[in-house]
Amino acid sequence: MPAKQVLIMEPANEATDEWEMSTLRSWMVEYSVHIDEEKHRHLSMISAANVSEVHHRLLAELRKNYHSSERIDVTVHRIEPVTTNTDALYFEGIYAP
């Protein structure tokens, strides 16, 4: 009976991959909710590690805010990670503590 060969490969930078996956980011989510004839526009900041988690947290937010409605229609206009690229020179001398 021939022996089986088993190749064991260790993933490179496993700790880094886990860290990147668990890092929370801020996401801006812009969406509209239609209930009967009413339309409500929302802009939310959601902390999540990835887009899939943003979807889950948005669904939880909708359930919390519209728990009494039987049916709602939701249109997501934009989901973007928030980046901080502020140039302090734009605010120099404008704001004082």
Number of separate domains in the chain: 1
pLDDT of residue 9: 46
pLDDT of residue 87: 67
Q: Identify whether 93 is part of a domain.
A: no
Instruction: Please state, in angstroms and rounded to a whole number, the distance separating the CA atoms of residues 64 and 42.
Output: 14
Q: Identify whether 48 is part of a domain.
A: yes
pLDDT at 84 over 50: yes
- At residue 4 the predicted structure's pLDDT band, cuts being 50, 70 and 90, is very low
pLDDT at 17 over 50: no
Q: Identify whether 91 is part of a domain.
A: no
Domain boundaries, position 37: 23-83
Q: Identify whether 29 is part of a domain.
A: yes
- At residue 6 the predicted structure's pLDDT band, cuts being 50, 70 and 90, is very low
| 24-71 pLDDT per residue, tens | 899 999 999 999 889 999 999 999 999 999 999 999 999 999 988 889
Q: Identify whether 8 is part of a domain.
A: no
CATH code at position 60: 3.10.20.10
| 70-81 pLDDT per residue, tens | 899 999 999 999
